[in-house]
Homo-oligomer: A and B are copies of this chain.
Amino acid sequence: MSIDSGNEVIIGFPMSSPVSPLALPFPAMPTIDGVECRIARAGYKDWGRCDLTFITLAEGTAVAGITTRSTCPSPEVELCRAHLNAGRARALIVNAGNANAFSGARGRDAVAGIVGMAAAYCGCAEEEVFVSSTGVIGVPLPQDKAQAGLAVAFSAPPCSWEDAARTISTTDTFPKGAVAQAVVGGVTVNLVGIIKGSGMIAPDMATMLGYIFTDAAVSPAFLQHCLNMANPGSFGSITVDSDTSTSDTVLAFATGKAGNAPLTSADDAGADAFAAAFADLCRQLAHLVVRDGEGATKFIEIQVSGAISDTSARKIAFSIANSPLVKTAIAGEDANWGRVVMAVGKAGEPADRDKLAIRFGTTLVAANGVVVEGYDEHPVAAHLKGSDIDIGVDLGLGQGRATVWTCDLTHGYISINADYRS
């Protein structure tokens, strides 16, 4: 099926290969009443695939969002931040292959151009149009290609979630989607999400590009509340390479078509169920990004307990998760728990070497500052041969806890990133 005006376009095009060994199949995802996805090929790169996604949203759709904390954000991020104030959305444009970051006035003009086109198409205010772009930094989004691509998308038939998930992707090796449901005041509401991102992923940022859609009726403020609550335990708790994009954005859209009594606060009936489903969806999406971490062969969960506070536990967990020496040891399936000690020590957080306990999988390796009596490395070695690795660290100092997720550091990461742009 060809959906652009004359050029050959591949639908369901292949992703970057080889596919991550940690990939999960794309789930069956329901349509969300009030949301339609379309894709087109703007040709931001010299590739045969679609690279522009255009999503329309029913009138009255609420929007919430979190964007990167980078001090050098793209104009798209600045636009999203500004447009989030009004809390309403009618359209989303996602460009793949060009981040449009650090692109000066030309980059800002290109974004303004397609926002104007989309607002005219939808008959809405410009403040109701959201844009994201990812790809190479420093090259202004080519306005002519963006506008031509968007015009093609306007007349394209709606596409599947999977095609949209593929089209927002850049170096991803598999399309990423997740689903959740909740019952709100007797009404079943659906939540779906798509996400892209495989490198330049680090904590405390909205992380990569993620979009959540629900047919629930939710006020913008409560939707933002749900996102703020879900973020620390999902997008804010993953790291691939400690690097942070200039474009990271997560947006959530609620069309209200499910017909539930609108949720406006945590005290409303069904608000807890909705927030829980929302958080579950965010965690699923965040995990998918780690599972597509550049070069990843292991999905790693790091649980820190016994720290003096949750904040301290989180810093220690990220110190472990971002340690190249820990990540390469796991890539090598090497039970080198000494590197975990190193990473705890370098975190700069309160720790007492002689109270520290370390666990790999379910096996206690070290306790009270020394390897456990009669330590048997075999169950640890067996655990490390699997694809899902659990590391537990107990500081023995207090009640602070944190869990973060990361992947291993392999030759694949080097291969992907030492020759990405050329």
A344 to B99 Cα, complex, angstroms: 16
Whether B104 lies near A368 (C-beta < 8 A) is: yes
Least CB distance from A353 to B in Å reads 4
Is residue A328 contacting chain B, with contact meaning CB distance below 8 A?
Answer: yes
**A73-B353, A338-B101, A338-B102 known; A346 vs B418 contact (CB < 8 Å):** no
How far does the alpha carbon of A101 sit from the alpha carbon of B397 in the complex, in Å?
20
Are B417 and A351 neighbours in the complex by a CB distance under 8 Å?
no
**How far is A345 from B73 in the complex, measured between Cα atoms in Å?**
7
A71, B243: Cβ atoms closer than 8 Å: no
Q: Is A192 an interface residue (CB 8 A)?
A: no
Q: Which residue of the partner chain, among B103, B200, B369, contacts A325 with CB atoms under 8 Å? A: B200
Nearest B residue to A375, CB-CB: B138
Nearest CB in chain B: distance from A194 CB, A:
23
- For A324, give its contact among B138, B205, B415, B417 (CB under 8 Å): B417
CA distance A350 to B368 in the complex (A): 42
Contact across chains for B370 and A324 when beta carbons are under 8 A apart: no
A183 interface hit (Cβ, 8 Å): no
Q: Which of B99, B202, B341 lies in contact with A72, CB distance below 8 A?
A: B341
Is B69 a contact of A334 with CB atoms below 8 Å? no
* A→B interface (CB under 8 Å): 68-73, 99, 101-106, 136-140, 199-200, 202, 205, 241-246, 322-325, 328-329, 331-332, 334, 336-339, 341-354, 356, 366, 368-371, 409-411, 413-415, 417-422
- 20 A-B contacts (beta carbon < 8 Å): A72-B342, A72-B345, A101-B338, A102-B341, A102-B369, A104-B369, A140-B370, A241-B325, A242-B323, A243-B323, A243-B342, A244-B346, A328-B413, A328-B414, A332-B417, A332-B420, A334-B421, A334-B422, A410-B418, A411-B414
